[in-house]
Amino acid sequence: PSFSPLPRQPRRPPYQWLKNGILAGGLFPILWIFVRGGANLLGANPIAEVENELGLGALVFLLAAMACTPARKLFGWAWPMRIRRELGLFAFFYVCLHVTTYLLLDKFLDLHAVVSDIILRPFITVGFAAFVLLIPVAYTSSSYWIRRLGYDRWQMVHRLTYAAGVLAIVHFTWRAKLVVLQPIVYGIILAALLLVRVVYSSRKRRV
């Protein structure tokens, strides 16, 4: 007797487990905030605590996305480039949550107070500038925009990430005021990532 072959299972994309891990890891901090909020464990100023944690999440994901290309150049790893988009989108997601928390829970959509803060409070000015710079980066993150803009122009748009990263570190440092050890650590990481890019770009021009 003949047996019909089993239907072929669709091949899963490479490193799908890694992308699933990023999804779970990216959502866990939000879940943890809700759990702590429900248990009244967010401290004396829960709104500020939520803002700070969402902002820190945005910075961590932004630096992780920026580390993908240096990791490929330094170690020859291909897999970081496959998750760079997910990391970058999570960074923008956390930035949006950070800004939304500020607008809704801190300022209650008082646009006059928001504009005053942007103009008069430098750490909010640079933070808002970083948010604005990341909007076109997130919007053009798909392969469709690489085809539409062309790789060189698309790459120019995505270089805004570097400026946004610097502004985010400044925002974090000024926000922290006296306790600046943590912002300094992240600033050193960002400087190292930018240095790798500068070194490899200069070598490429010499060739």
Instruction: Please compute the mean of the pLDDT values over residues 109-127 and round it to a whole number.
Output: 95
pLDDT at 203 over 80: no
Query: In the prediction, which pLDDT does 5 show?
Result: 47
Across the range 32-45, mean pLDDT stands at: 91
**How high is the pLDDT of residue 2?**
41
Instruction: Check if the beta carbon of residue 46 is closer than 8 Å to that of residue 59.
Output: no
pLDDT value at 176 more than 90: no
Residue 4: pLDDT above 60?
no
| HSE-CB of 85 using CA atoms within 13 angstroms | 8
Predicted local distance difference test score (pLDDT) of residue 19: 79
Torsion sign (Cα): 40, 45, 50, 53: negative
Phi then psi for 171, rounded to 5 degrees?
-60, -45
Average pLDDT in the 71-93 region?
A: 90
pLDDT single digits (tens) 122-159: 999 999 999 999 999 999 999 899 999 999 999 999 99
* Lowest-confidence region among 9-18, 111-120, 122-131, 176-185: 9-18
Q: How many CA atoms lie within 13 A of 55 on its CB side?
A: 28
Q: In this predicted model, what pLDDT tens digit does every residue of 150-166 receive, in sequence order?
A: 999 999 999 999 999 99
Among residues 162, 134, 139, the alpha carbon closest in space to that of 149 is found at 139
Q: 36-70 b/e with 16+ CB inside 10 Å = b?
A: beeeeebeeeeebbbbbbbbbbbbbbbbbbbbbbb
pLDDT number for residue 118 = 96
User: What whole-number distance in Å separates Cα of residue 70 and Cα of residue 77?
Assistant: 10
Residue predicted with more confidence, 179 or 128: 128
Q: Please report the pLDDT score of residue 10 as a whole number.
A: 52
Share of the chain above pLDDT 90, in %: 68
